[in-house]
Structures are given as structure tokens and as C-alpha cells.
């Protein structure tokens, strides 16, 4: 073989080997690059999703804590003043422990199929007797129906208890707070909207819309309006 032809063959072989090595190197590097790109994009998506979620901050709101209970009309306990009727409504243990601690500020009542919006005089908490069967065991609120309201024993009724006179206080929407009494948690979002942290807060009274925040947040702190369970995981 002539020297010129040998050089040509050598050059072609060298080019083929170089192309093959380059192709193998690209295939090996591709998964790592793709993995890095995917991880980066996932982080960006997570940050965008957090930034896009609604946040709220503490505002001054009027809070009127109330407790609504279902009960029934029963004959009033015998007194020197005569008869009449009461509404007796069962209270859940959680409400006894954290809400109905002091005598209420007032009670409004309604009788199913009858009058509504009349005052019902608080008579106290009564313990049901076990003689009435398992359903009778527990604690109930008893309040007196005015004599001007027509009633008979056995009617279904509802009472709405004003737990106190109401107040204006720093508050968050109920949906933003995990917890209902004494202590709760909120998810604070950083000013740039890309990071979150779980904060423990001291709770006060609440109503169907607002939860009083007594301690744990600074003015201007933004918290998630509707945190989910995964938001509470340590970061």
C-alpha cells in the first residue's frame, strides 16, 4: 500500500474512533444532566406554587364567641315559682373543657316549628343521670323559656350561647390556624414567598370566622391562608 493511501486510511480510522468516543461520553453524561435539570425545575415549581398560594396577616377584628347546641323542651324543675318549661341541650366534653368555662353572656333560643330568637335564661350545667340509659349520660345546659313563649315538652330546640360579650382583638381567619384552643400553629411565608416555617401561636377566643392570636406573630407576618398537613412538616 502506498504511503499516501496508508495516511488516508489512518486519518479515517482516527476520525471514526474519535466520533465513537464522543458519542459514548455524551450518553454517559446525559442522565446526570437530565437529573440535575429535573431537580432544578422541581425546586422552581415548588417555589412558584408556594408563592402563588394565598396568604393573610393578623388584623384587628371583632370576635363574638358563640356555641350552638341542639336540645329539647323539658318541664322546668319544680320551684316555689311554679312550672314552666326549659330547654336542655347536651354539651360535648371539648366545649366544656375549652369554651363553656364561665357563665355565658346570654342565650338566644329557637323551637323547631315554633318561635325563634327569644332569650332563654341560663340556669346552669346539669349532669344527666345514668338511669335514663347510655344516651342520658353526660352534661347539659339548662335554660328557662319565657312564660310568654308557648311550648310543650318534647319539642326540638336549638340554643345559641354567647360565651362572652365579644371583643376587638388581633385575629386570623379560622382556616389559617391549626388548633382551636390555648395553643395552635400557623405556617409563616418568607417575604420573597419562597420559604415557609411553622410557628407556634397562643390562641384566645374564636367565633365562626376568626381566631384571636394573643402571641407568636409579629406585625406584617404573612401566613398561609389554608395550610395543609404537609406544610407542618419540619423544614
- HSE-CB of 168 using CA atoms within 13 angstroms: 2
Instruction: Write out the three cell numbers for 190.
Output: 418568607
Q: Are residues 91 and 157 in the same domain?
A: yes
- Rg over alpha carbons for the chain, rounded to the nearest Å, is 34
Whether the pLDDT of residue 87 is over 90: the answer is yes
Q: What percent of the chain has pLDDT over 90?
A: 60
pTM of the prediction? Answer: 0.68
For residues 121 and 173, membership in a common domain is answered with: no
Instruction: Say whether both 213 and 130 belong to one domain.
Output: no
Same domain? For 90 and 45 the reply is no
State how far the Cα of 105 lies from the Cα of 33, in Å rounded to an integer: 67
Q: Is the pLDDT of residue 79 over 80?
A: no
Phi-psi bin for 133: left (phi > 0), alpha (psi -120 to 50), beta? Answer: left
Task: State residue 105's pLDDT score.
Answer: 94
Which residues neighbour 230 within 8 Å (Cβ) at sequence distance 6 or greater?
none
Based on the domain organization, do 43 and 26 belong to the same domain?
yes
Number of domains in the chain: 3
Residues 81 and 134 in one domain: yes
CATH code for the domain in which residue 180 is found: 2.40.420.20
CA atoms within 13 A on the CB side of 3: 0
**Do 156 and 187 sit in the same domain of this protein?**
no
- pLDDT tens-place string over residues 120-155: 999 999 986 544 444 445 899 999 999 999 999 999
Q: Would you state the pLDDT for residue 45? A: 44
Domain boundary among 110, 131, 162: 162
Find the CATH number of the domain harbouring 69.
2.40.30.170
Residues 147-170: pLDDT tens digits? Answer: 999 999 999 999 999 999 899 999
Write down which residue in 138, 162, 186 finishes a domain: 162
Look-up of cell digits 404537609: 230
Q: Do 86 and 9 have their domain in common?
A: no
Residue 9 pLDDT more than 80? Answer: no
Question: Taking a C-beta distance cutoff of 8 angstroms, is the pair 163, 65 a contact?
Answer: yes
* Structure confidence at residue 77 as a pLDDT band (50, 70, 90): confident
Which tens digit of pLDDT belongs to each residue from 196-224?
A: 999 999 999 999 999 999 999 988 899 99
Which among 120, 145, 162 is the end of a domain?
A: 162
Check whether residue 40 and residue 69 sit in a common domain.
no
Q: Are residues 11 and 39 in the same domain?
A: yes
Q: Are residues 40 and 127 in the same domain?
A: no
Domain that holds residue 119: 63-162
Amino acid at each position: 500500500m502506498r504511503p499516501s493511501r496508508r495516511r488516508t486510511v489512518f486519518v479515517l480510522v482516527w476520525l471514526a474512533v474519535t466520533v465513537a468516543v464522543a458519542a459514548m461520553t455524551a450518553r454517559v453524561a446525559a442522565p446526570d444532566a437530565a437529573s440535575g435539570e429535573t431537580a432544578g425545575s422541581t425546586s422552581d415549581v415548588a417555589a412558584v406554587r408556594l408563592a402563588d398560594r394565598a396568604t393573610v396577616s393578623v388584623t384587628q377584628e371583632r370576635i363574638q364567641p358563640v356555641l350552638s347546641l341542639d336540645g329539647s323542651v323539658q318541664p322546668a324543675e319544680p320551684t316555689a315559682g311554679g312550672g314552666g318549661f326549659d330547654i336542655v341541650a347536651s354539651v360535648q366534653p371539648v366545649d366544656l373543657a375549652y369554651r363553656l368555662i364561665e357563665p355565658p353572656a346570654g342565650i338566644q333560643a329557637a323551637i323547631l316549628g315554633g318561635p325563634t330568637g327569644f332569650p332563654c335564661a341560663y340556669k346552669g350545667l346539669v349532669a344527666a343521670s345514668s338511669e335514663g340509659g347510655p344516651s342520658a349520660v353526660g352534661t347539659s345546659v339548662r335554660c328557662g323559656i319565657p312564660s310568654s313563649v308557648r311550648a310543650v315538652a318534647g319539642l326540638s330546640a336549638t340554643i345559641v350561647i354567647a360565651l362572652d360579650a365579644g371583643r376587638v382583638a388581633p385575629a386570623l381567619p379560622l382556616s389559617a390556624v391549626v388548633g382551636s384552643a390555648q395553643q395552635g400553629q400557623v405556617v409563616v411565608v418568607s417575604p420573597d414567598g419562597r420559604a415557609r416555617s411553622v410557628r407556634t401561636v397562643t390562641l384566645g377566643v374564636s367565633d365562626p370566622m376568626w381566631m384571636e392570636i394573643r402571641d407568636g406573630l409579629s406585625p406584617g407576618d404573612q401566613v398561609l391562608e389554608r395550610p395543609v398537613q404537609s406544610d407542618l412538616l419540619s423544614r
